[in-house]
Structure 1
């Protein structure tokens, strides 16, 4: 499996969502209206550091737009960014509510892209993904809805790929050592003990070095 960042592969629904969000950010920064008729701040975004005359809402919008240009963010991550910039909580809530209304902030779409990226790049299972989404500030209900779309058989297949890759560097080791290391690797990636035991046993049984003469 190849390593990826938090972006989706070309042509996927997740990438289309990401490109749509980025296009919306670009339109907002350029002062162009969105296709749905929602307006955006006209002219270049104001500086992130407000002066005495700066409109705090305009500053907050600029901070959010800049943050979203680099990569998708959860609402909680944007809230933390605004707090670091000294934005009042009520202003941050108002601006982020508006961003959600026009589709620039969408925790469900963010979670879908995040999950796909981490499964492809690191082979994470649902338990680990739930933990990482929680750390990103995605609420448990949204995270659970996205993670429920992962098929158990597909998760088992990913575990097999991880084990097969790890075994390439474990030739010659005793079976008990291989089992312990593989189980630790899968546990760190969030796989259940049931899936781990099954996949490890099947993979080791298939190796010539563990087959009986």
Structure 2
């Protein structure tokens, strides 16, 4: 259960309006900043630390506040990473590599990233790649075979799919559509 912070009644409504309290206590300011940022969406510890640094909160105060937030469960990088992987894979069709890259930019620890992307099994990843190709396939009709292959495989590459998987899925989709892909020479995309 989160500890409730009582703000002194100085006549202003700054604490009720979602703004940092007007007191000069850096601890109170840090708590208010973190709570405001966490209200909109979950954040990683590093994202919050960066925000506190930008607001001029001393590092030792920020560390204390962030540790307390972790202790009470308001900051949980493992849960953040798991939810991120689930959401971005389902919603945008991103593969493990792209998801890991996004989590790294958000400051999630490598071990937590590995755990989070491990929840995607290879068959699930391949099924998602196939669904992406099936949606894009219609838009490439009428283009020459090589161009279709490049567009479809390139789309999967941008979403982080490995080259071998991307080419296999694209070839299967084109074959099922009746394209002759046996003589395709397709290098690295």
TM-score tier, shorter chain, comes to 0.7 to 0.9
Q: Shift in Å at residue 56 of structure 1? A: 0.8
Q: Which residue of 2 aligns with 1:78?
A: 48
What are the Cα deviations for residues 53-110 of structure 1, in whole angstroms up to 9, with x where unaligned? 5211111000000000000001111011111111111111110000000000000111
* Residues 176 and 47 (structure 1), Cα distance of their counterparts in 2 relative to 1, 3 Å cut: closer
* 2:20 aligned with 1:48: yes
Q: Which residue of 2 aligns with 1:106?
A: 76
Q: Which residue of 2 aligns with 1:167?
A: 137
What are the Cα deviations for residues 166-194 of structure 1, in whole angstroms up to 9, with x where unaligned? 11111111111111111111111000111
Q: Which residue of 2 aligns with 1:66?
A: 36
Q: Which residue of 2 aligns with 1:90?
A: 60
The gaps in structure 1 that reach 5 residues or longer are 1-33
Give the Cα–Cα distance (whole angstroms) in 1 for the partners of residues 164 and 180 of structure 2.
21
Q: Is the 8 A contact 2:145 2:179 kept in 1?
A: no
Give the Cα–Cα distance (whole angstroms) in 2 for the partners of residues 156 and 172 of structure 1.
26
Give the total of aligned pairs.
Answer: 173
Higher relative contact order (Cα pairs below 8 Å, separated by 6+ residues): 1
Q: Is the 8 A contact 2:19 2:36 kept in 1?
A: no
Give the Cα–Cα distance (whole angstroms) in 2 for the partners of residues 86 and 39 of structure 1.
24
The gaps in structure 2 that reach 5 residues or longer are 8-14, 182-189
Give the Cα–Cα distance (whole angstroms) in 1 for the partners of residues 151 and 19 of structure 2.
51
Q: Which residue of 2 aligns with 1:39?
A: 3
* 2:163 aligned with 1:199: no
Give the Cα–Cα distance (whole angstroms) in 2 for the partners of residues 209 and 190 of structure 1.
25
Give the Cα–Cα distance (whole angstroms) in 1 for the partners of residues 108 and 69 of structure 2.
16
User: Computing the radius of gyration over CA atoms, which structure comes out larger, 1 or 2?
Assistant: 2
Across the aligned residues of Structure 1 and Structure 2, the Cα RMSD in angstroms comes to 1.8
TM-score computed with the length of structure 1 as normaliser: 0.77
Q: Is the 8 A contact 1:127 1:191 kept in 2?
A: yes
SS in 2 for 1:163: helix
- Find runs of 4+ consecutive structure 1 residues off by over 3 angstroms: 43-47, 208-211
* 2:158 aligned with 1:188: yes
